[in-house]
Amino acid sequence: MWSGCYRVPSPTLTGSLIRDLQLIDEVVGAGEIAMSDHRSSWPTTQELLGLVTDARVGGMLSGKAGVVHFHTGSADSLLQPLWDVVNASKGTIPLKHMIPTHVSGRGPALLKAAEEWVSKGGRVDFTSDQEGETASHDALMDWGKRMGNAALQGVSLSSDAFGSLPVFDSKGELVEYNVASPKANLNTIRRLVLDGKWALEDALQLSTTNPASHLSFKSKGKLEAGADADIVILSPETLQVQYVIARGKVLKSPSVTSEGVGDCCRCSDEGLLSKKAPILKTPSCID
């Protein structure tokens, strides 16, 4: 989890980002801090420098990535606030501690700025395409063709699942809210492979090895002995989800989906299987 919100100063759980990183296992950094966006608090360079420094120091003390995740808007400043932090630190703050997100869907200027950030060793996060969108797919196809896999290793893909998707009119007035679907990640990956003819391993890295590397999760993002048993098994022809295994437990198969663990019975299309087992429900299952 991130500690904080759009605004700076940002709330923490313990009163300090450094303490959050040290004392709360789940906290890996700060975010989502808004910049170049009309909803941000327009933090100064010194405020951002202090925040990124705290993330770096807290990460060093806790053995975590210590990153700041930046919500990036479409203002003309683009990623300049991050470069201002780098310059203010005299180059002592590595770019890896600052990860801007939403860089793929705010127009060509921001996408070009993201390309420069990655070329200098930074990491960026693309927002996967919701239904009817193509921005991330098109950008990834272009980057893959022009810059190759080395550049793609600096990119992660996230869906903003269940986050708000506000729609504004030409005058900047809020028109409506939509909600981001968690299906967007796999849908974007599926399109890269099936339509874009990418190798599966090249597309999957965006949601597996890359984010695991960016966030210093040494036991995630790979299939090997000793790694976390969090696995999604896809059909080879359609890349539809067949099995989901989390922490070594099967949560979904082609016929059943787990909704949790309880002192109930485990149900399937065949009926009652056993007591005090994971609750598995299908469309024909009765609670």
Contact 144, 136 (CB under 8 A): no
Strand partners, 279: 260
Which is it for the CA torsion 279, 282, 283, 286, positive or negative?
negative
Tell me the C-alpha distance between 105 and 34, whole Å.
Answer: 15
Structure tokens given for 72: 């990036």
| Residues paired with residue 126 on neighbouring β-strands, in sequence order | 157
Residues catalogued as catalytic: 160
Instruction: Write the single-letter amino acid at 285.
Output: C
211: Cβ contacts below 8 Å, ≥ 6 apart:
156, 157, 158, 217, 221
What's the sign of the alpha-carbon dihedral 86, 53, 11, 161? positive
User: Which residue from 106, 239, 128 is spatially nearest to 180, judged by alpha carbons?
Assistant: 128
Q: How far apart are CA 166 and CA 119, in angstroms?
A: 31
Q: If DSSP states are collapsed to H, E and C, what string results for 214-251?
A: HCCCCCCCCCCCCCCCCEEEECCCCCCEEEEEECCEEE
Cβ partners under 8 Å of residue 237, min gap 6: none
23 SS3 class:
helix
Cis amide prior to 9 (ω within 30 degrees) = yes
